[in-house]
Structure 1
Amino acid sequence: MSKKNQRREPPPDPAPLPGLVDAHTHLAACGGRSAEAVAAILDHAEAVGVGRVVTVADDMVDARWAVDAATWDERCYAAVALHPMHAGDLDDEAKAELEQMARHDRVVAVGETGLDYYWPSRSADCAAPQVQASAFAWHIDLAKRVGKPLMIHNREADRALLDILAAEGSPETVIMHCFSGDEAVARECVDRGYLLSFSGTVTFTNAAELQRAALVVPDEQLLVETDAPFLTPHPYRGARNESYCLPYTARFLADLRGTPEAQMAAVLGANARRVYRIG
């Protein structure tokens, strides 16, 4: 089979690894736009040990889908915010609706929000950095007002993002979604008490620096996620990701950190349940 055809094939089911929680996925982008479709995705995930997922919004349409999905299935929870690329959409109407959604009992985090310095020079549709910064500050305040974790998107903006968090005052719980920084950034985040969530990128063969960063995170500050349908773990990079693939990344982290896989899964799952306050 050619590499191109391999990428079209979904990864095979991993051996079950019970106790996991997918700390960040995008069910709508995985096809979960109906109760039946969401149930099918979560049934698949549960069969390999992923018992809960947090589905995350990028824009207002996705935010509404995320809240709906979280009411359709008890295994699903939601996070709502405007992705930094869509920060220009944060008008008064969007603010009012996001605040209402953020207070919903099935919404467990405000996110993903933050800074993305990769796309502004590459896409006319991406909000400018100063617009992103203003929207980020508003989301930080929202997380504090509703008393829920802040879920961070950071792409090529380490220093600016950490400086804004320091200036605004971090919420009690900050989750660095799909952590992509180096060891020094990881240490700074750890020292601030943030949680670092690792996706399939940590398994990539060219991710030595990210793997070093993953080694400095204490067990209690570590999460695992898919960011599905993106960032499928090695050796299935390029294929479509889904929550059932999470055990691949969890096992990689266990091996990297020299921890038995069942113990690693228990730690990762317990952390997610604690910070999101889910069953």
Structure 2
Amino acid sequence: MAETKIHPSAIVEDGAKIGDGVTIGPFSLVGANVTLGDGVELSSHVVVTGRTTVGARTRIFPFASIGHQPQDLKYKGEPSTLDIGTDCLIREGVTLNPGTEGGGMKTTIGDRCAFLANSHVGHDCRVGNNVVFSNNVMLAGHCDVGDFVIIGGGAAVIQFARVGAHSFLGGMSGLEQDLIPYGMALGNRAYLSGLNIIGLQRRGFSRSEIHDLRRAYRLMFAQEGTLLERVADVAEEFKDHPIVMEIVAFIKAGGKRSMCTPKNGADA
């Protein structure tokens, strides 16, 4: 059983649940309703408060603000929660907010995520596994971010947007619409610039899988017909291709935002 280390200058309020092998550095504060899993490390000057659970082996760096009340003017003190998965990296100045009554009462973050300096996750968001937020990324409330998403430095995502799994949002982009799985969006305001080919290659997708995705992408975002008509055609042609059908399902499910599309036709 690993030893738990709490610096004399740190404050751990009565009621906090502290796992084995936790390190709580100088001038850190852990609130009464916080749970820290085994091996969690709070570097120094870290505040974890509210009804927050931090998964095992997650590391949090100085001046991060984890679990303070959400930046929603409608919040009235309801007992909402923030759930952070295992093996996450939360760097300096990161802010992660819990949920609100208007959004399901919880914010959830998956395993093995990296939040680089001064990035922000707003209230009632759902962030998947293996997600990377570069420095100064701003995720507004009620967003849904899939697994293996990468968001470049200084990018902003509007509230209620969906960011599909394995997609990439370029640095300094402003995303006002839903980004399809495996897609790449760039610019302010962001447009769909193709597929996240480099990301797919790095994660071991085969040449044939990438080829099918490119062909389906060009059909979905061609000039002829409406998007829903083209999606229906792709669904019929690629019904035995699970990766393509993931995009089809994402588009058909819809959300509160329209779909991010290319500027001038398809270009994968």
TM-score by length of 1: 0.24
Give the TM-score, by structure 2 length: 0.25
Q: Which is helix-richer, 1 or 2?
A: 1
Higher strand share: 2
More contact order relative to length (CA 8 Å, sep ≥ 6): 1
Larger radius of gyration: 2
